[in-house]
């Protein structure tokens, strides 16, 4: 899978963190503007780090969402997605909350107005991103949750050269409700051996 797409999936999976950082820095900038009687130049001078953080967060997140939207558009139009039969499916309701509690909430403890904390944060987020991307742990995504995609635990079956292949413990991201679709055929794009994305049919 395209590395840029993997990076974009990781970036957008941290949506609650980026919102928190952005609002925190905007609040600091707003207080500075008030103290300086809304003198913009003085506020920028006093809060250079906050302005840089806000702009960086916006740019990185926008680029990541553009990459994901391009990917979704391309795959929706593709006629070469492999076909699988759903043998078992259940919605994985707890994965998103576990991801939020385990990975995102601890990162909110950093002081984003401190250069030292920002450097430590960047080191931590780069290491976390590298681990998630290397291990293909990118199916949990808050941006796609807003786009009505949900995660399902599935067992899939595929016929290859006359042989039936069974894929257990699969994770599927889908904006279609797969619950109760046992026995149905779906077209999926594979992130990795057991991670897939599929789309609601028009």
Q: Classify strands 150-160 and 83-91 as parallel, antiparallel or unpaired.
A: antiparallel
The CA-based angle 97-63-114, given to 5 degrees, is 70
Task: Output the pTM of the full model.
Answer: 0.78
Query: Over its length of 202 residues, how does the chain's per-residue pLDDT go in tens digits?
Result: 567 888 998 999 999 999 998 888 888 777 776 776 666 676 666 677 778 888 899 999 999 999 988 888 887 777 677 888 899 988 887 777 888 888 888 888 888 778 888 899 999 999 998 988 888 777 688 888 888 888 888 888 888 777 888 888 888 888 888 888 888 888 888 776 667 777 765 4
Q: Which two tokens stand for residue 45?
A: 């001078």
């Amino acid at each position: 899978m395209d590395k840029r797409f993997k990076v974009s999936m990781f970036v957008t999976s941290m949506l609650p963190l980026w919102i928190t950082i952005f609002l925190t820095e905007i609040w600091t900038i707003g207080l500075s503007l008030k103290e300086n009687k809304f003198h913009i130049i003085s506020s920028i001078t006093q809060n250079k780090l906050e302005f840089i953080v806000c702009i960086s967060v916006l740019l990185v997140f926008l680029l990541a969402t553009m990459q994901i939207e391009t990917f979704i558009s391309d795959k929706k139009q593709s006629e070469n997605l492999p076909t699988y039969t759903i043998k078992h499916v259940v919605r994985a309701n707890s994965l998103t909350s576990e991801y939020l509690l385990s990975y995102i909430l601890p990162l909110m403890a950093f002081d984003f107005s401190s250069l030292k904390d920002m450097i430590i944060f960047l080191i931590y987020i780069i290491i976390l991103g590298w681990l998630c991307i290397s291990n293909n742990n990118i199916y949990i995504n808050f941006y796609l949750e807003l786009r009505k995609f949900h995660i399902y635990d599935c067992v899939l079956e595929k016929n290859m050269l006359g042989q039936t292949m069974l894929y257990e413990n699969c994770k599927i991201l889908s904006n279609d409700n797969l619950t109760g679709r046992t026995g149905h055929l779906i077209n999926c794009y594979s992130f990795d051996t057991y991670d897939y994305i599929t789309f609601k049919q028009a």
